[in-house]
Amino acid sequence: MSARRDAVSLDLSAEPLSHLTGVGPRVAAKLEARGLTTLQDLWLHLPLRYEDRTTLLPIRALKAGIAAQVEGRVEAVERGFRYRPVLRVAVSDDSGATLVLRFFHFRAAQVAQFAVGTRLRCYGTPRPGQHGLEIVHPSYRVLGDGEDAGLGDVLDPIYPAVEGIGPASLRKLISQALDRLPDAATLELLPPALLADLNLPSLHDAMLAMHRPPAGADIAALSAGTHPAQQRLAMEELLAHHLSLRRQRIALQQHRAPSLRGRDGLVKALLESLPFRLTGAQQRVFDEIRKDLARAHPMLRLVQGDVGSGKTVVAALAGMLAVERGKQVALAAPTELLAEQHLLNLRAWLEPLGVRVTWLAGKVTGKARSKVLEEVASGHAQVVVGTHALMQEAVVFNDLALAIVDEQHRFGVHQRLALRDKGASAGIVPHQLVMTATPIPRTLAMAAYSDLDVSAIDELPPGRTPVQTIVISAERRPELVERIRVACQQGRQVYWVCTLIDESDEVVATAAQNTFEALSAQLPELRVGLVHGRMKAAEKQAAMQSFKSAQTDLLVATTVIEVGVDVPNASLMIIENAERLGLAQLHQLRGRVGRGATASSCVLMYQAPLSNMARERLETMRHTSDGFLIAEKDLELRGPGELLGTRQTGLAEFRVADLARDAGMLPMVHALSERLLVESPELADRIVRRWIGGAVRYASA
Ligand code: ADP
Ligand code: MG
């Protein structure tokens, strides 16, 4: 134990910032609000970019758009008032050229500083102005006539802002923290031989190179994140995350779980009663799950499968393995709509086999709720389907052996753990199956899910016709209205999806309401329905039900219909302002059509002008319907932070690493991690503690 404590103090990760000069309780609180509580946090608060004040450029050599530092004397000062107050200061140097400094905000004292002849040193990015180049709001310094100001020998770091602390103070604090950086040997955790092999600097040198790059440092590499110093830090961070996930997994494997070696009566019966045969992919994934469940160790498996790939039936089959053993299954879905759809499917499939399926959602209250809770607690309910309500404390299972979470990224890690814990007792935990229709690019899965087993249902059931995707400008809306009319005359059904930048339910609901009214007026012969997030659950349900049973021809909806809705007769979807949605969401929405045998189309309607990003997204949608390709593209366009929030993975945001950029390092990181776990678990421990600490809980827990 004491060896461990030594390790912590050596890591300095525990050293609080109050030990620095200038950090009282108020400053400490502001730093903490930004997640900065230890010396090490400051070491890892890396610059966003740099300013090069290590050289002076002759004014004549300035180029528009390229930041530089110059020195000269004030030649003229002009205070004007065109549309707003403006101060212009002309500065010239020996090169004989003149630069204009322009200020829109200034104080009288500042004006007084700029007497003609004053020596100034300034830094900024010149732009073409009325009279040659000018710099708006440069940073500047007044120099005395004989003053020798010297030049810095390192680039000036510009740090990500910390609210309430000025940039200069922040820089001073970080500089103080760096002065207390231990020497290279003390700080280093990785074997020197390894670093030499990889051609990477020590942690010590890497940190200094990031915070204080010497004059002449490769700024381009630094801002691209390809500098060896960044790579060094990113590598250790990726290693720490991988190690922690691996350790979590090892810890999970220490637990036992009920072995659900099937007698297969119910599985067979279910397979025989289905109106279809499993696809090869469904069969393969079910076999993988069946093998996991037969073991006396907890399964933690992620099933990825594109929308419509048929995950539900695989989940139902897995559930039957538990029910056959006299145990219970829970299936949680993020929305009531989706959960209810599961309920309907499972009831239709399982009740004829004599399996009791129970429903628990937020709206089940009072006596009904007590009754459900009792059925769950007594074990009478064999399969329990519901929403977040399943995770509440009052819900007690008799013998939960399998916890299934659908669209797991819409739940927090803690919620999933809460459900799992309902089946936990004395070293035994239930098996967990998580499902997602948001495919994770392979690179990301490697980093985020190295603690889970991943199965992919990478095949759609037969008989689906690919959805044709059309991209058109909103000006062509009238044509669409005609198209809807024709489709509905042919007995088809249509979705019209409204989106807005302002994601507040209320604004979107109003927009949907307006669209609903406009379309109802334009298409009087159609039965038009409306569903949005502000409606009561019962109203939503009624609207959806009416669409499902073909009582509604055209459904105007917000993105609440995103997941899980299954209406095979719907063959046309129009997405308004499609340019505002991300690829993953567009893909999810589009998956609502093309579920039947009729050729379907999805119209992505956009408001011009399109940004390049938006154009690329829409093009991607037009060209492919492969969820994995789309996910890769999404990663490329948006970066992993947005694609895969901490909610989804339980991974904290990376401080240095960027999965899209650094994915190439992963195989090496993984190999290294396996080696460390075997050869130096103590070291592995310290690496994890340095980067992650004890605060994070993981997806694998
Ligand atoms: P998702 O993976 O998006 O959750 P679902 O489980 O909702 O997909 O399945 C989509 C539809 O396909 C459902 O109507 C389901 O009954 C049907 N389905 C599932 N598997 C098959 C199959 N092998 N053959 C034909 N239809 C299937
Ligand atoms: Mg589903």
Ligand nearest to the CA of 566: 1
Backbone conformation region of residue 361, classed left if phi is above 0, alpha if psi is from -120 to 50, else beta: beta
Given a contact cutoff of 8 angstroms between Cβ atoms, the answer to whether 659 and 640 are in contact is yes
Q: Is the beta carbon of 331 within 6 A of some atom in ligand 1?
A: no
Could you tell me the pLDDT band of residue 444, with boundaries at 50, 70 and 90?
A: low
- Centre a 10 Å sphere on the Cβ of residue 19 and count the other Cβ atoms it contains: 12
Angle, to 10 degrees, between the axis of helix 167-179 and the axis of helix 203-211?
Answer: 160
Q: Is the beta carbon of 312 within 6 A of some atom in ligand 1?
A: yes
Given a contact cutoff of 8 angstroms between Cβ atoms, the answer to whether 243 and 673 are in contact is yes
Ligand nearest to the CA of 464: 1
How does pLDDT run across 389-407, given as a tens digit for each residue?
998 888 999 999 999 998 7
What does the pLDDT read at residue 305? Answer: 87
Distance, in Å, from the CA atom of 529 to the CA atom of 544, rounded to the nearest integer, reads 8
Please report, rounded to a whole number, the percentage of residues in the chain having pLDDT higher than 70: 89
Strongest mean pLDDT among 69-83, 267-281, 521-535? 267-281
Q: How far is the CA of 440 from the centre of ligand 1 (A)?
A: 20
Q: Is the beta carbon of 436 within 6 A of some atom in ligand 1?
A: no
Compute the mean pLDDT over every residue in the chain, rounded to the nearest whole number.
86
What does the pLDDT read at residue 5? Answer: 39
Please name the residue whose Cα sits nearest to atom 4 of ligand 1.
311
Residue type, 692: I
Q: Is the beta carbon of 627 within 6 A of some atom in ligand 1?
A: no
What does the pLDDT read at residue 663? Answer: 78
Q: Is the beta carbon of 585 within 6 A of some atom in ligand 1?
A: no
Given a contact cutoff of 8 angstroms between Cβ atoms, the answer to whether 666 and 215 are in contact is no
Superfamily of domain 53-143: Nucleic acid-binding proteins (2.40.50.140)
Please name the residue whose Cα sits nearest to atom 5 of ligand 1.
310
Whether the pLDDT of residue 409 is over 70: the answer is no
Q: Is the beta carbon of 278 within 6 A of some atom in ligand 1?
A: yes
As given in the structure block, the two tokens for residue 50 are 């740099």
Task: Kindly report, as residue ranges, where domains of CATH 2.40.50.140 are found in the chain.
Answer: 53-143
Given a contact cutoff of 8 angstroms between Cβ atoms, the answer to whether 128 and 93 are in contact is no
Site to substitute for ligand 1 among 406, 566, 595, 600, most atoms within 8 A of C-beta: 566
Distance, in Å, from the CA atom of 526 to the CA atom of 528, rounded to the nearest integer, reads 6
Of the listed ranges 80-89, 243-252, 319-328, 630-639, the least confidently predicted one is: 630-639
Q: Is the beta carbon of 342 within 6 A of some atom in ligand 1?
A: no
Could you tell me the pLDDT band of residue 452, with boundaries at 50, 70 and 90?
A: confident
Closest alpha carbon to 637 in 575, 582, 580, 578? 582
What does the pLDDT read at residue 14? Answer: 65
Distance, in Å, from the CA atom of 184 to the CA atom of 623, rounded to the nearest integer, reads 52
Sign of CA dihedral 209, 213, 215, 217: positive
Of the listed ranges 227-241, 496-510, 545-559, 679-693, the least confidently predicted one is: 496-510
Distance, in Å, from the CA atom of 580 to the CA atom of 617, rounded to the nearest integer, reads 10
Please name the residue whose Cα sits nearest to atom 17 of ligand 1.
310
Could you tell me the pLDDT band of residue 650, with boundaries at 50, 70 and 90?
A: very low
Q: How far is the CA of 310 from the centre of ligand 1 (A)?
A: 3
What does the pLDDT read at residue 35? Answer: 84
- Looking at domain 265-457, its CATH architecture is 3-Layer(aba) Sandwich (3.40)
Please name the residue whose Cα sits nearest to atom 22 of ligand 1.
461
Task: Kindly report, as residue ranges, where domains of CATH 3.40.50.300 are found in the chain.
Answer: 265-457, 467-624
Query: Per the omega criterion (within 30 degrees of 0), is the bond before 352 cis?
Result: no
What does the pLDDT read at residue 611? Answer: 87
Please name the residue whose Cα sits nearest to atom 14 of ligand 1.
566
Whether the pLDDT of residue 685 is over 50: the answer is yes
CATH of domain 467-624: 3.40.50.300
Q: How far is the CA of 382 from the centre of ligand 1 (A)?
A: 23
Site to substitute for ligand 1 among 271, 276, 434, most atoms within 8 A of C-beta: 276
Closest alpha carbon to 236 in 278, 286, 194? 194
Could you tell me the pLDDT band of residue 276, with boundaries at 50, 70 and 90?
A: very high
How does pLDDT run across 209-229, given as a tens digit for each residue?
999 999 989 888 888 888 999
Given a contact cutoff of 8 angstroms between Cβ atoms, the answer to whether 385 and 405 are in contact is no
Could you tell me the pLDDT band of residue 11, with boundaries at 50, 70 and 90?
A: low
Atom of ligand 1 nearest to the CA of 406: 4
Could you tell me the pLDDT band of residue 273, with boundaries at 50, 70 and 90?
A: very high
Phi (first) and psi of residue 602, to 5 degrees: -130, 125
Could you tell me the pLDDT band of residue 257, with boundaries at 50, 70 and 90?
A: very high
What does the pLDDT read at residue 382? Answer: 97
